[in-house]
Structure 1
Amino acid sequence: MIQIRKFEGQDTGPILDLFYETVHTVNARDYTKEQLDAWAPLEDMSAKRLVWERSLASHITYVADIGGTIAGFGDMTNEGYIDRLYVHHRYQRQGIATALLNTLEAEAIRLGAAKLFTEASITAKPFFERYGYSVLKEQTVIRSGVSLINYRMVKSIGK
């Protein structure tokens, strides 16, 4: 059974592992190995633990917990920017991303946000479109000197 709960500091290590594994498996169908390595470099993961922990703690962050295992996580700013939404490759297509997105959207509505924004990967774009997000523009971002395409997306919420 999926439990959606607030992020806790000890979740950071499992989240970093989940992020790396998800990017390098799920996103591999849409990005090259060079792009995946720039997006989620293995050698940076442990070094960035404190940066990630601070970021996740400063955002509105939820994790999907299945029997003590973090199967996914999502976070957003108070302004309604969904920064990250990832589900471990072993837990894809089980409603976890939907549960996390619904939780973030409900929180944004509670906070009075009028819109939600995200920068979705090629892989995630169809998921966000299914939930009412529209593409504002395709954009190229640079990670460690490597270009990656993603999509600036928006959804109106609330009143």
Structure 2
Amino acid sequence: MEIIKFKETDTKEIISLFYETVHSVNSKDYSQVQLDAWAPRDEKESKMNSWKESLSQNITFVAKVNGKVVGFSDLTHTGYLDRLFVHKDYQGQGIATALVDMLESEAKKLKLLEIDTEASITAKPFFEHLGYKIVCSQTVEKKGVKLANFKMLKKIK
């Protein structure tokens, strides 16, 4: 596995990975209606420009195996860990940990004091394992559908 900085040419593969991951890995914690609201398949194309822009502006790392995108994560310059997704066939192989380690290293270089994120039910145990603490549980609304998640925070040393 190699972890590299985001290139705009990876956008389409990243978006596909996002949809596949949400609709498979998160299905144990969220209903189909919730998954469809979170990652509506009809928005795949419209996400191309907005994600290309936000992934380019953020600190974004992409994990690849044999040239294939198997994970990605991004952090804003203010310390918000926006997205962290690993391909459904590559779960549990240390990819998410490696991506977050890279982001935390960048956060230290920026002299950020903390990183915050909004973790899904599925991702909460992973973030807790890495030392993130729950600030609060919350309900977010996407397309009129309510989804539970957790605002989490980690102090950067």
TM-score, normalised to structure 2, is 0.99
Cross-structure match for 2:68 = 69
The within-5 A match list for 1:88-127 is 88-127=87-126
- In 2: Cα distance, 1:88 partner to 1:12 partner: 14
Aligned to 1:152: 151
Q: How many residues get paired?
A: 157
* Distance across 1 between alignment mates of 2:11 and 2:47: 10
Give matches, 1:1-159, under 5 Å.
Answer: 2-158=1-157
SS in 1 for 2:46: coil
| 1:8-53 deviation per Cα after TM superposition (whole angstroms, max 9, x unaligned) | 0000000000000000000000000000000000010112210110
> d(CA) in 1 for partners of 2:119 and 2:46?
25
CA distance in 1, matches of 2:43, 2:78: 28
- AA aligned to 1:81 is Y
Query: Which consecutive segments of 4 or more residues in structure 1 shift more than 6 A?
Result: none
| RMSD, aligned α-carbons | 0.5
Structure 2 SS opposite 1:46: helix
Instruction: Give, in whole Å, the separation in 1 of the partners of 2:155 and 2:126.
Output: 16
Distance 1:14 1:46 in 2: 12
Whole-angstrom distance in 2 between the partners of 1:74 and 1:133: 16
> Using the alignment, how far apart are the partners of 1:136 and 1:47 within structure 2?
32
Please give the alpha-carbon distance, in whole angstroms, between the structure 1 residues aligned to 2:109 and 2:75: 13
Q: Residue type of the partner of 2:13? A: P
Q: Quote the offset at 1:123 in angstroms.
A: 0.1
Question: Residue by residue, what CA displacement relative to the aligned partner does 1:63-106 show, whole Å, maximum 9, x if unpaired?
Answer: 00111000000001011100000000011011100000000000
Name the SS for the 1:73 alignment partner. strand
Instruction: Give the secondary-structure state (helix, strand or coil) at the position aligned to 2:11.
Output: helix
Q: Identity percentage over the alignment? A: 52
More deviation in 47-56 or 69-78?
47-56
